[in-house]
Amino acid sequence: MGIIEVDMFLKDVDDPQHPVAESFRELLTEVAEQYSCNLESFEVKRGIVSFSFDSDELMADIIQILHVDD
């Protein structure tokens, strides 16, 4: 399974424990619960968020949403 990377935050958000990043992690965890799966990875470096779930369906849905917003 792949990892989704999104340039989401200002570059000073450089740690998964940053309050802004932590709020986003909580949101991703809630989405995972709705899909009955788990958030497998979550990293934040210089405003870029990398994450993955153990659900192909959820990963595909997120990729679809990201492509629609382009």
48-68 pLDDT, tens per residue? Answer: 999 999 999 999 999 998 887
Distance of alpha carbon 18 from alpha carbon 6, whole angstroms: 16
Q: Report the predicted TM-score, pTM, of the whole model to 2 decimal places.
A: 0.89
Distance of alpha carbon 59 from alpha carbon 51, whole angstroms: 10
Distance of alpha carbon 11 from alpha carbon 37, whole angstroms: 30
Q: Tell me what pLDDT residue 70 has.
A: 53
Measured at the CA of 62, the angle between CA 61 and CA 63, to 5 degrees, comes to: 95
8-31 pLDDT, tens per residue? Answer: 999 999 999 999 999 999 999 999
Instruction: Delimit the domains of the chain by residue range.
Output: 4-68
